[in-house]
Amino acid sequence: MQAAIPVWRSRIQALGPGILMATAAIGGSHLVASTQAGALFGWQLAWLILLVNVLKYPFFRFGVEYTLTRQESLLMGYQRKGRGYFYSFIVLNIIAAVVNTAGVLLLTASLLQYALPGNLSVVLLCWLILGSCLFILLLGHYKALDNVAKVIMLLLTVSTVIAAIIAVLNGAQAPVGYIGPSPWTLAGLGFLVALMGWMPAPIEISAISSLWLQAKQRDMPISRKQGLLDFNLGYWLTAGLALVFLSLGALVQYGNEQSIALAGGAFAQQLMDMYASTIGDWARPLVALIAFLCMFGTTITVLDGYARTLHASFSQLGWITHKAALHYWLLAQAACGMAVILFFKAALAPMLTFAMTLAFLTTPIFAWLNYSLMRGNGAITLSWPLRLLSWAGLLYLSGFALLFLLWFSGVI
């Protein structure tokens, strides 16, 4: 007779989709946006980062809870809601897949270029990284991705928390009496919207998490309690690390006359300098490796997640139903991402800002859609705090998006 699996072990084995979401989120929103927020504005945006994570929480959670309760993905729910919603999701998902793949791939290559001796071309490193990611995904698929993500998240969390603790003990590096710029101006609205767009992740990650959860369920049964534990662990770990990265920027870079880089080699240099100035110069190679692994994990999860949603979307429409089509989506997404890097590399930083802004503007739409799926026919029971938080999130996200559109169009 087979021995029963201990409860603690079954809970650890059930971890996966939530950790994958955290791995996908940390690449752009944390390493770049959170550290930039701290470096430019000190601690002024800490409450905003915490607030947007809290207000987006229900809509990411609904992706997990809907799948666990209805035993189907969010994509099926979108299609039932109406073809207009479903087609809109597919179009936005294609744009996000290409732009996000190019962005995270170039950032990963920049970190690897910094970590390796010599002066290898960033484009060459992009090809090597992309080939490695495809090799892992095409051979191992979800199980390999699941295992890699857990190791990467552990290493990144430990090293970043250690760096933040040392930075706190060393004290802020800004000159005494330094008064930085205020983010609370109309001119700073674009930065705030971009910051919140990928915080903690683009809203389409909720649909991707739904598919990751289904893939996990094919390996082992997952109860509602286990699924929500995995989601909550990944989500709040992501939110906590956002504040940790902001603290590094605020303590180490805030008040520095050096301009803050968004991407490329200068970004990698500044990121490593930030860790080295706290932990010590001896840790520079180690942290460079960990940061690279973080972005490598983000690249893998972005490739897998978006390709998975595109494959599932077109399969539901009955257009492309062959099982091997997932491989073709992976290859097509990778090729389009590389095309962006090869032909539009100089404009990559504005493209990242565009992707983050677009993610925020579409958030109210898909947030409402996720909520409506939970409250539709055969409604899933939601606690009153969760319903109240959902409405508060919808009002805040919609209001901020409207304010940005009015500002962008020149009305205010």
pLDDT in tens, 231-278: 888 888 888 888 988 988 888 888 876 666 655 566 677 777 777 777
Q: What is the DSSP letter of 361?
A: H
391, pLDDT greater than 90? yes
- Residue 355, C-beta contacts closer than 8 angstroms, at least 6 positions apart: 96, 99, 100, 103, 197, 198
Residue 52 covered by a domain:
yes
Give percent of the chain with pLDDT exceeding 90. Answer: 15
User: Which residue shows structure tokens 């579409």?
Assistant: 362
322 in any annotated domain: no
Q: Has residue 374 been placed in a domain?
A: yes
Average the pLDDT over 271-294 and give the result.
75
Residue 47: pLDDT band (50, 70, 90) is very high
Residue 14 forms part of a structural domain: yes
Mean pLDDT is highest, among 58-62, 111-115, 183-187, 338-342, for: 58-62
DSSP three-state, residue 38: helix
Least confident of 26-30, 46-50, 269-273, 285-289: 26-30
Q: Is residue 368 part of a domain?
A: yes
Q: Which domain holds residue 42?
A: 7-307+334-408
Lowest mean pLDDT among 190-204, 227-241, 371-385: 371-385
CATH number of residue 100's parent domain? 1.10.4160.10
Cα–Cα distance between 215 and 159 in angstroms, integer? 30
DSSP string, 89-108: HHHHHHHHHHHHHHHHHHHH
What pLDDT band is residue 2 in, cutting at 50, 70 and 90? very low
Does some domain include residue 40?
yes
Contacts of 326 (CB under 8 A, 6+ apart): 307, 308, 311
The pLDDT score that the predictor gives to residue 127 is 93
Specify if 318 maps to a domain.
no
Among the residue ranges 15-19, 252-256, 318-322, 396-400, the one predicted with the least confidence is: 15-19
Give me the number of domains the chain comprises. 1
Structure tokens at 278: 């706290």
Tokens of 171: 């004290």
CA proximity to 59, closest of 380, 344, 367: 367
Q: DSSP labels for 221-238?
A: ---HHHHHHHHHHHHHHH
Chain segment 125-178, per-residue pLDDT in tens:
999 999 988 888 887 655 666 666 667 777 777 877 888 888 888 887 778 778
Dihedrals phi, psi of 116, to nearest 5 degrees: -90, 150
Supply the pLDDT for residue 8.
45
With 0-12 / 13-18 / 19 or more C-beta atoms within 10 angstroms meaning exposed / middle / buried, residue 42 is buried
CA distances from 181 to 35, 67, 184 (A): 16, 44, 9
